[in-house]
Amino acid sequence: MSARDEQGPRAPLWPWLQPALQGALDQLNSHAVLLHGAPGIGQFEFGLALARAWLCEAQPAGSAFRPACGLCASCHLIDAGSHPDLKVVLPEALQASLGWQAGGSEEGEGGDKAEKSSGKGKKLSQEIKVEAIRAVVQFSQNTASRGRAKVVLLHPAERMNLVAANTLLKTLEEPPGQVRFVLSGSALDELLPTVRSRCQAWRLPWPEEAAAASWLADAVEGLSQTDAQVLLSAAGGQPLTARERHELGLDARYWPMIPKDLVQGNATALTSWPLPLVVETLQKLCHDLACTAVGAAPRYFPASSLPKPPHLDRLTLWSQELRKLSRHAEHPWNAGLKVETLLLQARAVMAPKVSRPR
C-alpha cells in the first residue's frame, strides 16, 4: 500500500511494460481486447494505459493512437477516478490494492468502501458479480459524455462468475457503437470460451529481468540490487508479486536459507508467515528439488541453497499434497492448521533418515 501511495492513486504504467504500449495501440483495433500474461506483471495497469490513450483528448486527429498525454481534461479525470466514459470493474477484494474504486456494483459507488469493510473484518468478494456486469451493460448503452469513446476495463476477467460472464456475452457480441472493452487476467483458461472468442487477444511481454530487478530495488526500501534479484526469482520473475511477498514478510536474505533450515528443523521464521505464503514457498521448493533431481536448473531458489533432492516419487507425493492444500489455504477452516505440521512434513520429505510423513 505504501508504495502505491507514493505513486498516487492512478499508478503509471510499470517500466517493464512501457516498451509494449505503442505496439499494442497500433495492433489492438477490435472493440474487445483480452490482455493476458503471468500474474503479478501488471495487466490492470496496461489495460488502464490503453483506456487512457483511447480516451485522451490530445490525440492527433486521423492518425494512430499514441500513449496518453497525461495533461488533458480526460487524463486528469482518469487520474481523479471520475471519468464519465471509463468504467473500471474489479472484485471488491482488489479495489484497495489497485487504488481504484470500482463503480460496478450498487455498493461500489461511494467512499472508501473496501477499507471500511476490511476494517470491520468483513470478507471482501473475490468475484466479479452479475450486478457489476449489469451496470456495464447499462453503461455501454449510454452515449459517451465527452463524445470521444467509452471504455470498460474489467479485471481479472476470470473472476467473473458464470452468470456474470453470460450477462456480458451479448454486449460483447453486439457492442453498442462507441464502447471498447478491455478484459485482462492471468488464468484465461478459466474464462468462458465464448467470451474469449469474442475478443482480440494480446499477450503481455514477460518483464525483462534487469528492468524488473532495478524497479524492485527502488520500490522496496533498503533492498540492494542483489537482494532484488533473489526476491524476483523467489516470485518467479513477477515484480509485483515480489513486492507483495516482501510485504507479507518474505526476506530476500532469508530466502536462500530456507531449504537448509527446513532440513535442520530450524525454519521457525516461517511460522509467522500467512499460511498461503508458507504453502506457496514449500511448493516452490518442491518444484526446484524436482528440477534438480532431473538435472534442470531451479527456478525460485539459488541452486547452491538446495539440499540433495529426494527421490522423485516422494516429491510427487509431496507436490500433490501441497497442491490440494493450496486450493484451500485461505479457507477459514484452515486457520487452525499448524504451519509446524507442514514444516515437519517438508523436513521428512527432504531428510530420508527421518521417518516419512503420514
List own/partner pairs for 135-143 with CB under 8 A and 24 or more apart.
135/87, 135/103, 135/104, 135/105, 135/106, 136/87, 136/89, 136/104, 136/168, 136/171, 137/167, 137/168, 137/170, 137/171, 139/87, 139/179, 140/171, 140/175, 140/176, 140/179, 141/176, 143/178
Residue ranges that bind Zn ion, judged by CB under 5 A: 56, 58, 68-69, 72, 75
* Nearest CB to Zn ion, comparing residues 39 and 67: 67
Minimum separation from the CB atom of position 180 to Zn ion (A): 16
Question: Greatest CA separation found in the chain?
Answer: 73
> Can you tell me the distance from the alpha carbon of 251 to that of 265, in angstroms, rounded to the nearest whole number?
19
Smallest distance from Zn ion to CB 55, Å: 8
Closest separation in Å from C-beta 47 to Zn ion: 17
Closest distance to Zn ion from the beta carbon of 215 (Å):
25
**d(C-alpha 51, C-alpha 213), whole Å:** 27
Q: Which is nearer to Zn ion, 65 or 255 (CB)?
A: 65
Q: How far is CA 115 from the centre of its chain?
A: 19
Q: Which is nearer to Zn ion, 79 or 244 (CB)?
A: 79
Of 49 and 114, the one with the shorter C-beta distance to Zn ion is 49
Least separation in angstroms between residue 78's CB and Zn ion is 8
Which of 71, 312 has the CB closer to Zn ion? 71
Please, are residues 183 and 33 in contact by the beta-carbon 8 Å criterion?
A: yes
CB of 57 to Zn ion, least distance (A): 6
Nearest to 172 by CA among 162, 185, 183: 183
Residue 246, all three cell numbers: 516482501
Sign of CA dihedral 228, 234, 239, 245: negative
Closer CB to Zn ion, residue 68 or residue 135? 68
Based on CB atoms, which residue is closest to Zn ion, 82 or 224?
82
Q: b/e string for 99-126 if b means 16 or more Cβ within 10 A?
A: bbbbbbbeebeeeebbeebbeeeeeebe
Min dist CB 149 to Zn ion, Å, is 13
User: Cα–chain-centroid distance for residue 143?
Assistant: 32
53/263 with CB nearer Zn ion:
53
- Cβ 74 to Zn ion shortest distance, Å: 5
Minimum distance between the CB of residue 53 and Zn ion, rounded to whole angstroms? 8
The pairs formed by 250-258 with CB atoms below 8 angstroms and a separation of 24 or more are 250/277, 250/281, 252/223, 252/227, 252/228, 253/227, 255/230, 255/231, 255/301, 256/230, 256/301, 256/302, 256/304, 256/305, 257/305, 258/285, 258/301, 258/305
Q: Residue 60 or 121: which CB sits closer to Zn ion?
A: 60
